[in-house]
Chains A and B, each alone.
Chain A
Amino acid sequence: MGLLSLTFHPSPAFNPSIFTLPPHRCHRPSSLAVRATSAAGTPQPLLQVNDLRAKILESGVEILHGVNLTVNEGEVHAIMGKNGSGKSTFAKVLVGHPDYEVTGGSVVFKGENLLEMEPEERSLAGLFMSFQSPVEIPGVSNDEFLVMAYNARRRKLGLPELGPLECFSYLMEKLQLVNMKPDFLNRNVNEGFSGGERKRNEILQLAVLGADLAILDEIDSGLDVDALRDVANAVNRIRAPKNSLMMITHYRRILDLLNPTHVHVMDKGKIARTGDISIVETIETEGYETVAALT
């Protein structure tokens, strides 16, 4: 396990900016450009979760009781389930949230042991999670934050860091992509943002940083119909074919907009059932209890 994390280096295959290739990263080996889900090639596993168990550090309460899940390149997964079933905990454990302790199982991301990595290393490796309730950071402007994060990524890739001015045009491009006004950049990170603005801000960060696997934790909650469509369109626009998506949601609407290839139902800290979009119909008519019990 230790070896895996020690051999973690940026390689041609490592490209956290796959969502949106910056102009300076145009030369990808053509073999990697093959659509993972195309009928010809076998899909490459991006994330392999095996019997993952985790507890809350402070209370010691175990929340995840053995989660198994594989996400291949290019797939769109949806995780549903009733409140308290462990969906958000699963997402937070994947990005290394310090409130949780992994007590068993393994997670391999792009061939590396994810659990050995610090949260920032996971991010740099190409894993992104949009926070359900993003924290306010008074005194730090959105552009300062984005420039820092973007440069951390460039540093990791061995690219020269960009000054604020050089970054600006890049950020403006991304702002348009997610349909946001430029004054968004001058405001402090999430400070005084409405619920919808916070969600958009998460998507803006995703657009700027890119990710091989983006986990959207209830990106649709608290959004009105129009805002939801904007956010979903932005996600569709910034997603490259090879990137994968894992969304956690309670609602059908976003599923219709993002077309998941796999739908999972979590129950009592496990994935109780997996299927395609048709499973959602069953959930809507019969409820989570019945669907989870079907296994």
Chain B
Amino acid sequence: MSTVAFTPTPLNPSFNSHKFVRTKPNRFSLQSKAIVTSDPFVLELAETLEDSLPSSTAPLQKLREASSESLLSTPWPSRRDEPFRFTDLSFLRYSNILPVSQHPPTTTLPAADSTSFLSLNIADGHPVTPLSNSSQLPQGVYVGTLSALASTPIIDRVMELMCAFDAGDLFWSINGVGAPDATVVYVPEGCRVETPIYLRYLAVEGGAEGSKTMRMSNPRVVVVVEKGAEVGIIEEFSAAEEGNDCYWTNSALEAVVGEGAKLTHSYIQNQSSSSAHIKWTSIRQESSSTYELTEISTGGKLGRHNLHIQQLGPDTVTELSTLHLSVGDQTQDLHSSLVLDHPRGYSRQLHKCIVAHSKGQAVFDGNIKVNRYAQQTDAGQLTRSLLLEPRASINVKPNLQIVADDVKCSHGAAISDLEESQLLYFRARGIDPKSARRVLIFAFGGEVIEKLPYPSIRERVRSQIKSLLDPSPK
């Protein structure tokens, strides 16, 4: 993959005057410098995307430029590219992709369902302020749009982070070009945010079921958890209402977890079965920080999560748990990479998936790099899959690359149907095999659901998974 190296520089006021050059057909100012491998499809996509956006706001200008530069040198991925070897993007490729309207949709959005969260709706990529229960926000914490952010030091901090990640792919760049604004979560040093922040991504616009039109949105979130601070973030992706089911959510979240800080991240994806959901999560962990992720993905015709975690200092703790469920003609894909460059990192990754449909598919590529200085790393990775139907498929590629010599690493992969001995145990107590299977399949996923830190969300996810696995109870 060709990426363009980019050196982050402090925000320079001169950027304000730097206009995005728009001279057709060479729309992008930086195109002349880019390697000319532009894919016409990608070019066209970039153009429509750019047309849909208002003239760039200053803070995002730099991101857009950097993103468009790499975008133009990156072709649409094919099955020949390793990261997409098992993930077929052709249904997106042959859709008529239109950006969502530039103004936040006026549809009445569902209100926050409880007072136990600070909730913020992000409709078609546009953060819809205000935040609910904002009185519960501790002093100095900011949750809102980048464009409305007044504090220059925070803007600088966000910008520094925003342009630092260079391992993204085409979709990361598309998001960088197409994000209308960014949602910023900023937690200052030593601050513990008791109430979790609930980001509700809603797809509002969409093509009708069966139509070839996909409406694309590019939500972007930046999270900064400063030294010793602590915050919980829930990302939930769903549709605002049924009917407009053909949409493509191309989301990105990047976060830095400061020294000794902790970020608890829950990610729930239950978008419609004809939608595409592509997400990037890029995390940078400073020394002694903790990052915990629990992902439950059940929706979309295509669900792809690219998770990248970079260790910036020693003694980090990283816990990743994922449950993927394919109950229809759909693909769930997790590509994760954890890069350890410092001593005494601790990481645990659990990936579980259930493919319960003959056209269902799951993909897992989990890479852990234990580099030269990452001595005394303790890294564990386990992937377990249930294949419940003939022709259902799963491709897993757990991989550890270990350079350091004093480490404890383990990985395991298991793909199977349910255990016969467990089924027999139920049957020997008079329980019919169908009910036994249902309970066992649910219990398999339960291990990940249990890790969701908030009871109300855990319960909701539990019943949602139950109904997906068993659409007609009794």
Residues of A within 8 A of B (CB): 16, 95-98, 118-120, 122-124, 129, 131, 134-135, 137-140, 144-145, 148-149, 152-153, 156, 189, 205, 209
In the bound assembly, the distance between CA atoms of A42 and B156 in angstroms comes to: 94
From A138, A139, A144, A149, B429 is in contact (CB under 8 Å) with A149
14 further contact pairs, Cβ within 8 A, besides A98-B424, A135-B421, A139-B444: A97-B424, A119-B427, A119-B428, A120-B427, A131-B425, A135-B419, A135-B422, A135-B424, A137-B422, A137-B443, A138-B443, A139-B440, A139-B442, A152-B430
A163 to chain B minimum Cβ distance, whole angstroms, is 14
B382 to chain A, nearest CB (A): 13
Partner-contacting stretch, out of B9-17, B78-86, B124-132, B431-439: B431-439
Chain B CB within 10 Å, residue with most, of A16, A119, A123, A144: A119
Contacts of B420 in A (CB 8 A): 98
B380 touches A (CB below 8 Å): no
A96 to B428, CA, bound (A): 8
What CA separation (Å) do A96 and B80 show in the bound complex?
50
Set A16, A131, A156: member contacting B428, Cβ < 8 A: A131
> Is there contact, CB below 8 Å, between A95 and B431?
no
Q: Which chain A residues lie closer than 8 Å to B444 at the CB level? A: 139
C-alpha gap A217/B429 in the complex (Å): 15
| Between-chain CB contacts (< 8 Å), 22 pairs | A96-B428, A97-B424, A98-B420, A119-B424, A120-B427, A120-B431, A120-B432, A122-B428, A123-B430, A135-B419, A135-B425, A139-B447, A140-B439, A140-B440, A140-B443, A148-B426, A149-B426, A149-B429, A149-B430, A152-B432, A153-B430, A189-B425
User: Shortest CB–CB separation between residue A44 and chain B, in angstroms?
Assistant: 23
In contact, A120 and B439 (Cβ under 8 angstroms): no
Residues of A within 8 A of B430 (CB): 16, 120, 123-124, 149, 152-153, 156, 209
- Set of chain A residues within 8 Å of B427, measured between Cβ atoms: 96, 118-120, 123
B residues less than 8 Å from A209 (CB atoms): 429-430
Shortest B397–chain A CB gap in Å is 25
Q: Digitize B222-252: 1 where CB-to-A-CB distance is under 8 Å, 0 elsewhere.
A: 0000000000000000000000000000000
**A123–B428 CB distance below 8 A:** yes
Which residues in A have their C-beta under 8 angstroms from that of B104?
A: none
Tell me whether B446 is interfacial, beta carbon within 8 Å: yes
> Does B428 contact A95, Cβ atoms closer than 8 Å?
yes
**Are B447's CB and A123's CB within 8 A?**
no
Partner of B431, one of A97, A98, A122, A149: A149
Complex interface: chain B residues within 8 A of A122 (CB)? 428
Point out the residues of chain A lying under 8 angstroms from B443, CB to CB: 137-140
Most chain-A CB neighbours within 10 Å: which of B422, B425, B443? B425
Q: Which residues of B contact A120 (CB under 8 A)?
A: 426-433
Q: Which residues from chain B contact A145 at a C-beta distance below 8 Å?
A: 426, 429
Bound-complex Cα distance A49 to B284 (A): 68
A205 CA / B446 CA spacing, docked (Å): 24
CA distance A92 to B317 in the complex (A): 47
In the assembled complex, the Cα of A144 lies from the Cα of B424 at a distance in Å of 17
Closest CB in chain A relative to B386 CB, distance in Å? 12
> Which of B428, B433, B442 counts the most chain A CB atoms within 10 A?
B428
Question: In whole angstroms, what is the CA distance A153 to B424 when docked?
Answer: 16
How many angstroms from the CA of A189 to the CA of B425 in the assembled complex?
10
Docked pose: A148 CA to B435 CA in angstroms? 9
Tell whether, in the assembled complex, residue A138 and residue B425 are in contact, meaning their CB atoms are under 8 Å apart: no
Which residues of chain B (399-433) have a CB below 8 Å from chain A? 419-422, 424-433
Distance A152 CA – B426 CA, assembled complex (angstroms): 11
In this complex, which of B424, B433, B442, B446 has the most chain A Cβ atoms within 10 angstroms of its Cβ? B424
Contact call A137/B432, Cβ cutoff below 8 A: no
A122 to B420, alpha carbons, bound, how many Å?
A: 18
Taking the nearest CB of chain B, how far is it from the CB of A17, in angstroms? 11
A134 touches B425 (CB 8 A): yes
Q: What are the residues of chain B within 8 A of A144 when measuring CB–CB?
A: 439
